[in-house]
Structures are given as C-alpha cells and as structure tokens.
C-alpha cells in the first residue's frame, strides 16, 4: 500500500525538511513531496530531501509551471533525480489565478500551457529536444516520472495522454472515479499513478481537529480551481455559502470533511484511507495541516501513526 | 587576494561536483561557483556545494534571469542561504541572445530587465515585497551581476553588490571599475562592493598544448555577440572583425589574446597573470576550469588550487 505525504504547505525550515524526510522514510511512507508556495521552491525542497534520504520517493506537489522555463525545471529535476538515484517524481501544476496574478504572470490557456510544458520537459529530460543539436550536453540519467494536477476530466485526460500520473486534490470518491476514468482512457496500459490528495488534520483532540479542518479547507475552497473541483464533487452549495460571506466554520459541512479529509485520531482514519484504495487510488497523498499549535515535526508524528 | 573558482562550464556529474566542493573546502578558494548552461542549473549545483562544504562560499556564476521568475530565484537562493548559514553569493546575468532565442525567450532591454530583476529578487530576499505573505529569515544575500560594458558596470555599482565581467583585459577592467564607482555614488547601497573578473584557465606545463586548448576552448565564446563586444573593448577589434567577416574563431584567436585574457600554461605563468588582474582592480578573480589534454574535472581543480596557493 503506497501512501505519500507532503511537507507543510506554508513551508518549513531546511532542518525540519531533513527531519521530515528521514522520519517519513523510516516510518514507511512511499514518497514525500514538497508543495510550492513562494517563498519556497518545491524543487529546492525536494533536493534537500533527496540529500537526506536513501530509498523514499522524492517529489514536488506541485511545481508551478509559470515559475520556471521548462528547460530550467527539467534541469533542476534532473539534479534531484541524479542525487536521489532515480527517486524523483516531478509534480506539475498551473497554481491558481489569484496567486499568479500577484506575480504578474499571464497564465494564458492553462490547458495548452500545461500540455506544451510537459512536452518540452520530457524532451529535455530524455534528450530528444532539438535544443541539444546546438548545445550537445546530455545527462545520462533515467527519466523521472511526471505527474500533473488534474481536477477536471479534460486535464485528467491530458495527464493520461502525456504524463506518468495524476495529482488531483479535494476530489471526492465519485469525482475521483470520473477523473481516473478519463486518465485511464488515454493512458491505456502504460504504468500510471492515480494519486488522490487529501488534507489531513490529525489530533487526539477531535473537536479541535474538526475546527482546524473547517478553517483549513475553507481557506482553500475559494481558489477558482478548487471551487470547480468541489462543485464537481457535489459541494456547490457550500461554495455558494462561502462566497456569500458565511464563515468556513458554519459553511463547511460534516459530509464534506468526511468525504475529502482525514481528521481526528489517526487510528480512526484508516477506513477512509482504505476507501481511497478501493476507489482506484494507487497512492493517496496526505497534506498535513496543523491542529492547534502543532509544529511540522508534531504533524509528522501524527502522520506516522497512520502506518502503525 | 581572494580567488574563486567555478565548476566546469559544460557541467559535470553530481559526484564530480561533490568532489570539487570537497577540494575547494580544503583549499584557499574563497567561493565555489556554478555556471548555468542547461540542462544544468547553477542554483541546484550551488545547493549541492552547500551540502558538502562548511566554510567555502558557494554561488552562481551566473544564473540566467530569464529562466526563473524572480520570486523562484529568490526562493531557491534562500534555501541555499539557509543551508550554508549565509555563504551564498548570487550571480545573475542575461545570458546571450542566441541562447535565449533558441529557448523562445524574448530578452527585451537586457539592462532594464536586469535592473527590474535584481530589485525584485532583493525585495523577496529581504521580505520587503508585498507580494509574498510567507517570510523567511536568512542572512542578506549579496547579488552580483554580469557586466561586460561600462553601462552594466554603472548599473552594478548602483544596484548590486558585485560585478562579474568575463574575458575583459586588465585595461578594460580598470574602466569598468571606474564606472562601478560612478554608479555606486548614484545608488543608495552601502554594502561592500566586490569587483570580480572571470578568467578562463588552461593550466599545464605543456605551454603549447595549453595555448592550443585555450584557442579551441575560447573560440566558441568568440561567436557570441556580448563576448565579441568585450573583446573589442579589450583592444581586439581586428580579431573580432575577422570573425564577423566569417573567419573561424579557432583560426582568428591568437596566442597573445588567450595569454592576455586567460590563465594559460605552467603554474608560475598563471600566477603572474592572476597578479596582473589583481593589480588592475579585481578584488576577486574567478577562475573557470578548462581541461588541457585529458585532464579530468578533479585534476583541473587541483591545478587551479596550485595557482591560488
């Protein structure tokens, strides 16, 4: 049973990254991935984690395609691939319009941007790009896997067509099934990773965990792409409530939390995790959020209990 | 005199980078810097140096400003600065039009692009930008910029902490130094300014072979417009003119030119060239390694350390 985790979305110190990666490795997680919220680099973090570990998969969840030219994204991913001796998984996403607007980034056609980006990255990584005709420097490395975020049927199909895996987030089981089906229709029989990203709020103090979950999901829910995936997952009414100004504590329902998150005591979350596998997920990716004043290392301790 | 070294311009394996970093750490090398020729990332390489050194400064020579959004450049730089406890030196440049054009990059006005980029990166690094809600506290990162002309030297003086020319003669370096001083007086930075100069090296007791390697090694640079300009400004107009007229650079470059602008030949001769540039105002020469004959990256590094000692 492969379970991946991410480091904290809002970043942490290099010292903590190393500790988290080592702990995840010894706990038995399949992979550890870094989010990319500036002023942190997911690939820079992945490199730190690659240096600190020997066997766990290392990756990004997810790198914003607008932050680096594809050749630089490929170059940096190749370095992590070389350091980790083949353990790199490059997760790519478009980030969110409000985020990219802050940095004066014109996203253009998001679907086409992603398609072209993946095509280029693959050609730089496998050495087939015509760039190398002019600059004949090739790195003799096994190619790294590329996953792309896919919250809609169209992007899921793109993942199936071009990538090695799909990284949806905040999708319920029914919507995940739809996404996986779209990806599968293009991926055919090739090796393909169907991941499912879930926010996680773990604590023995269940009430506090529920509150943290409502606030945590509520903060993310109004990002345009997450609004869409939540709507596609049957929670359009909750989006409307949040848009009307109702607080997350009131608007986010128990049903939403039960379907999309892991929260409360780790021992009580295993059934939900099993449901992910039964639904076709080959690797749930768990994103830890603090409950109360939990530090990144305390969150990791709670995550590790899931594997006890 | 502080002397820094780069890793091979055309890249090398992670194992070699680690080996070179360890050699640098046990030597008088001030800073170990990585070039950036894709598919290698200067910042990723500098991060490797950071993992395997404790005292030697690490850095980029130089990161192409068009390949990363400034916030991502700052983010990656901050990770290295955090790893090293404050030993990062961030070198930024505009690369070259032929290189960027091949990648579909429109450079705009390179000087204005550089100005905006440096200002943005600095604002992310020091946390003064209102675009970021997450803050990281790391030691200030010195930013150096590549500059081959008087205008870029002036800009470096105004907004940066160092200048990184390459293939400039000692006389041209003096001119750049005076432009830096002028720019410094028009800006509002009070940090110590470091004048570097990039010196390609071809070190061997076999002088003829070293000269031959230097002519061959530098001929590729002589095709690039920015370097053609610095060669002209360094007094080699005739040679550049013959290249522009179609002569193969490997035939146009002379032993005199390469011996003037690079460390070529036996260690004693290279030491003399190094001293010449220090006298011309280089606070920190930066030596770029090139093999003579079949020297490996580690052997080349050992030769450079002999020159620095």
Chain B residues closer than 8 Å to A38 by CB: 71-72, 75, 124, 131-132, 134
Domains of chain A, residue spans: 4-205+260-305
Q: Given CB atoms, is B102 within the 8 Å cutoff of chain A?
A: yes
Q: What is the CATH number of domain A4-205+260-305?
A: 3.20.20.30
Q: What is the pLDDT of residue B204?
A: 98
Q: What is the pLDDT of residue A299?
A: 97
For B168-197, what is each residue's pLDDT tens digit? 999 999 999 999 999 999 988 989 999 999
Q: What is the pLDDT of residue B130?
A: 94
Q: What is the pLDDT of residue A308?
A: 85
Q: What is the pLDDT of residue A131?
A: 85
Contact B82 A105 (CB under 8 A): no
Q: What is the mean pLDDT of chain B?
A: 96
| Cα A29 versus chain centre, distance | 15
Domains of chain B, residue spans: 4-214+261-308
Which three-class secondary structure state does DSSP give residue B15? helix
The whole model's pTM is what? 0.97
Instruction: Give which of A97, A119, A121 is closest to A108, Cα–Cα.
Output: A97
* B123 → chain A, closest CA residue: A39
Contact B10 A124 (CB under 8 A): no
Q: What is the pLDDT of residue A256?
A: 97
Rounded mean pLDDT of B214-228? 94
Q: Given CB atoms, is B136 within the 8 Å cutoff of chain A?
A: yes
| Model confidence at B134: pLDDT above 90 | no
Written out in words, the top-level CATH class of the domain with range B4-214+261-308 is alpha beta
Q: What is the pLDDT of residue A136?
A: 77
Which candidate in B12, B36, B38, B85 is best for mutational testing of the A interface (most A CBs within 10 A)? B38
Q: What is the pLDDT of residue A93?
A: 97
Q: Given CB atoms, is B72 within the 8 Å cutoff of chain A?
A: yes
Instruction: In whole angstroms, give the CA distance from residue B16 to residue B45.
Output: 11
List, as one string, the DSSP characters of chain A. ---EEE--TT---HHHHHHHHHHHHHHT-SEEEE---TTS-HHHHHHHHHHH-SSSEEEES-EETTSB-HHHHHHHHHHHHHHTTS-EEEEEE---HHHHHHTT----SHHHHHHHHHHHHHHHHHT-STHHHHS------PPPEEEE---SHHHHHHHHHH-SEE--BS--HHHHHHHHHHHHHHHTTS--EEEEEEEEEE-S-HHHHHHHHHHHHHHHHTSHHHHHHHHHTT-HHHHHHHHTT--HHHHS-HHHHHHH-EEE-GGGSHHHHHHHHHTT-SEEEEEE--STT--HHHHHHHHHHTT-
Q: What is the pLDDT of residue B135?
A: 84
Encode chain A (308 residues) as per-residue pLDDT tens digits. Answer: 899 999 999 999 999 999 999 999 999 999 999 999 999 999 999 999 999 999 999 999 999 999 999 999 999 999 999 999 999 999 999 999 999 999 999 999 999 999 999 999 999 999 999 888 877 788 989 999 999 998 999 999 999 999 999 999 999 999 999 999 999 999 999 999 999 999 999 999 999 999 999 999 999 999 999 999 999 999 999 999 999 999 999 999 999 999 999 999 999 999 999 999 999 999 999 999 999 999 999 999 999 999 98
Q: Which of A11, A69, A76 sits opposite B103 (nearest CB)?
A: A69
Q: What is the pLDDT of residue B133?
A: 86
Q: Given CB atoms, is B48 within the 8 Å cutoff of chain A?
A: yes
């Amino acid at each position: 049973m492969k379970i991946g985790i991410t480091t904290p979305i809002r970043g942490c110190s290099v010292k903590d990254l190393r500790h988290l990666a080592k702990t995840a490795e010894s706990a038995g997680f399949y992979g550890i991935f870094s989010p990319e919220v500036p002023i942190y680099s997911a690939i820079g973090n992945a490199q730190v984690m690659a240096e600190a570990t020997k066997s766990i998969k290392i990756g990004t969840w997810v790198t914003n395609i607008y932050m680096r030219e594809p050749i630089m994204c490929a170059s940096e991913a190749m370095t992590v691939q070389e350091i980790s001796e083949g353990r790199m998984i490059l997760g790519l996403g478009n980030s969110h319009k409000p985020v990219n607007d802050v940095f004066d980034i014109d996203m253009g056609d998001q679907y086409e941007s992603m398609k072209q980006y993946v095509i280029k990255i693959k050609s730089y990584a496998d050495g087939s790009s015509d760039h190398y005709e002019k600059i004949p420097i090739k790195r003799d490395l096994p190619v790294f896997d590329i996953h792309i975020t896919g919250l809609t049927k169209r992007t899921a199909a793109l993942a199936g067509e071009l990538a090695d895996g799909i990284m949806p987030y905040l999708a319920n089981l029914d919507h995940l099934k739809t996404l996986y089906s779209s990806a599968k229709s293009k991926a055919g029989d090739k090796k393909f990773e169907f991941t499912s990203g879930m926010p996680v709020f773990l604590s023995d103090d269940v009430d506090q965990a529920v509150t943290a979950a409502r606030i945590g999901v509520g903060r993310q829910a109004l990002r345009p792409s997450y609004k869409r995936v939540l709507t596609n997952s049957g929670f359009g009414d909750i989006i409307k409530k949040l848009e009307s100004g109702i607080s997350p504590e009131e608007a986010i329902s128990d049903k939403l939390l039960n379907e999309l998150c892991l929260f409360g005591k780790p021992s009580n979350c295993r059934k939900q995790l099993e449901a992910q596998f039964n639904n076709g997920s080959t690797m749930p990716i768990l994103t830890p959020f603090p409950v109360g004043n939990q530090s990144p290392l305390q969150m990791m301790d709670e995550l590790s209990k899931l594997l006890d | 005199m502080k002397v820094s070294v780069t890793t091979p311009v055309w890249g090398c394996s992670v194992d070699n980078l680690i080996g070179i970093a360890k050699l640098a750490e046990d030597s008088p090398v001030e800073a170990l810097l990585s070039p950036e020729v894709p598919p290698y990332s200067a910042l990723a390489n500098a991060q490797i140096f950071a993992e395997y050194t404790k005292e030697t400064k690490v850095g980029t020579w130089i990161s192409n400003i068009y390949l990363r959004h400034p916030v991502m450049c700052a983010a990656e730089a901050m990770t290295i600065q955090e790893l090293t406890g404050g030993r990062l030196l961030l070198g930024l440049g505009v690369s070259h039009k032929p290189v960027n054009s091949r990648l579909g990059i429109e450079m705009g006005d390179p000087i204005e692009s550089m100005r905006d980029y440096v200002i943005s990166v600095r604002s992310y690094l020091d946390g003064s930008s209102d675009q970021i809600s997450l803050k990281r506290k790391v030691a200030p990162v010195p930013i150096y910029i590549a500059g081959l002309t008087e205008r870029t030297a002036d800009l470096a003086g105004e907004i940066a902490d160092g200048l990184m020319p390459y293939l400039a003669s000692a006389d041209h370096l003096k001119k750049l130094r005076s432009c830096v001083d002028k720019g410094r007086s028009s800006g509002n930075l009070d940090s110590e300014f470091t004048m570097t100069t990039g010196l390609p090296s071809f070190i061997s007791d076999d002088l003829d072979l070293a000269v031959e390697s230097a002519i061959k090694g530098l001929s590729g640079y002589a095709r690039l417009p920015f370097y053609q300009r610095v060669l002209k400004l360094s007094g080699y107009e005739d040679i550049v003119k013959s290249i522009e007229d179609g002569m193969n650079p490997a035939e146009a470059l002379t032993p005199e030119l390469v011996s003037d602008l690079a460390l070529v030949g036996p260690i004693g001769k290279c030491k003399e060239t190094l001293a010449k540039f220090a006298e011309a105002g280089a606070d920190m020469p930066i030596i770029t390694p090139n093999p003579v004959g079949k020297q490996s990256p580690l052997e080349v590094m050992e030769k450079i350390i002999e020159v620095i000692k």
